[in-house]
A and B are shown apart, each in its own frame.
Chain A
């Protein structure tokens, strides 16, 4: 275990900027997200978790794939600068591992995503004060889980204890980090176990997939989707949702192809030009969202596409709670 004072951390971050594009929590009108910064003072630490998931560092909400002029194409998948992602929570770090399954597939790789991922270092920040909407422990995660992180920082007051996870991280941590004392490590352990105890919300995942296999045609989906207004916020803010649209934007002879986050909760998502829509109502769309996360994804990659970050619960305008939905599924 290493340690660094908070002042030392600021200097460390500043020193990284020569070699890395640093992405850190930034507060824009009360909305926290992970943005590129050029000065450590832009960082705002007054967050429990970001509103927008840090997946956007690798999979931006809107991204130019290539530009073209008179039919000549210029692609943008190359990454010119290494990235350092600072302060993301362990739940979101796990989510990136799930996105890796999708974008780093066997037959095809999404180079826009994988190039950014491969050229990044992630320093996560342990979750000392999880919220009532957090349920990461239901998916094998935890407020101090190191999965998907290169370094885990633990805030112990006026300094951080740093748990180095990967060799890649070892090369980055400079002399500003010292060996942590036994007391400091013990304090970190105490904070950790207290945080874990605070996560009271737990969803029983055992049997969910088998149940979902049986209830595709169950009227349960009508009930579940009844109050959903189809705003799509649950999917936009989900750190594991990966659906996107591709569109062309053009001015005169210069154009670009852009991809944008899209959502299975929108009717246009699957509407065919003929007018046929395989998911015509909210029922089919809600079913798709749940099935994709807890059935289809499990079949394809052997784990559910949910990390229990709670964003969909916190931000749903009509209080759809995915934990209740999962519980009801077991009872159906």
Chain B
């Protein structure tokens, strides 16, 4: 068995500031060894521990889909020691990743169904991976609805892709901001309100929701009143993590470790766990 604590060597392929305040940056990482790249089999929803040599490690959801070859994408908010170091890396800088870790969105059970994807803020990363994955075999899924909100237009992730998705006729895309600007012509309003207004049908549908806890808290009742059962709503949790493999003991909710048994949970399952997250 391989040592699960040893990072795989990668380098920065590109680095791009997503938001106007430059606090959110997207890094595309490239594998240094072809073999590592071939062995790295992942699915949307999984995460990696990224090592910055000398600074430490932190967990990040994978923002690219396995259907996009050649790079691994992460979007990182500058908050602590590791994220700050990550944001000032240059193209070609070497770092390490461990993964893929955790479980995935249950894409197989989405096949032949309608999928409603609801995101808020910079938690949109693994949802991007999911959307790209679904689009890569678009005909396997029925209606796909995307509702995505950010504080203001500048804080939206993946702006070019959002425009592209809005133009597609096989997607329903609702982008909203808490506070508009003069140039903003889209929706204004909090995510729960937009969900209520656009009222995606629960018929034959699954919902995936990912965002700040406060958004999830107010969106879940809206989904419930639209008729989504908790078994059909999935979300992804965040916790402080170190090992990523269920041993260091800090990310548990009851008997489950978010790193190993999550981060993706269906809401019915979450409701059965101790409310401590």
Residue positions of A touching B, CB distance < 8 A: 65-66, 68, 71, 73, 75, 77, 102-103, 105, 107-112, 216, 242-248, 250, 255, 257, 259, 262, 264, 269-274, 276, 278-279, 284, 288, 291-292, 295-297, 299-300
Contact = CB atoms under 8 A, between A and B. Distances in A.
B250 A110 contact: no
Contacts of B243: 244, 246
Interface residues of B, number: 41
Contacts of A299: 254-255
A243 B241 CA distance: 11
Contact of A108 (B96, B245, B275): B245
Contacts of B252: 288, 292, 296
A109 B1 contact: yes
Nearest to B7: A73
B54 A250 contact: yes
Interface of B: 1, 3-7, 9, 51, 53-58, 79-80, 83, 94-96, 213, 238-240, 242-243, 245-252, 254-255, 260, 274-277
A33 to B, nearest CB: 22
A170 B60 CA distance: 50
A245 B255 contact: no
Chain B residues touching A, majority SS: loop
B79 to A, nearest CB: 4
Contacts, number: 116
A248 B54 contact: yes
A75 B58 CA distance: 20
A248 B53 contact: yes
A68 B4 CA distance: 16
Contacts of B248: 243-246, 259, 262
6 nearest A-B pairs in the assembled complex, by CB-CB distance = A243-B249, A250-B54, A296-B255, A108-B245, A273-B80, A273-B79
A257 B83 CA distance: 18
Contacts of B9: 71, 73
B250 A270 contact: yes
Contacts of A284: 276
Find the residue from B4, B53, B83 having the highest chain A CB count within 10 A. B53
Contacts of B245: 105, 107-108, 110
A216 B83 CA distance: 35
A281 to B, nearest CB: 12
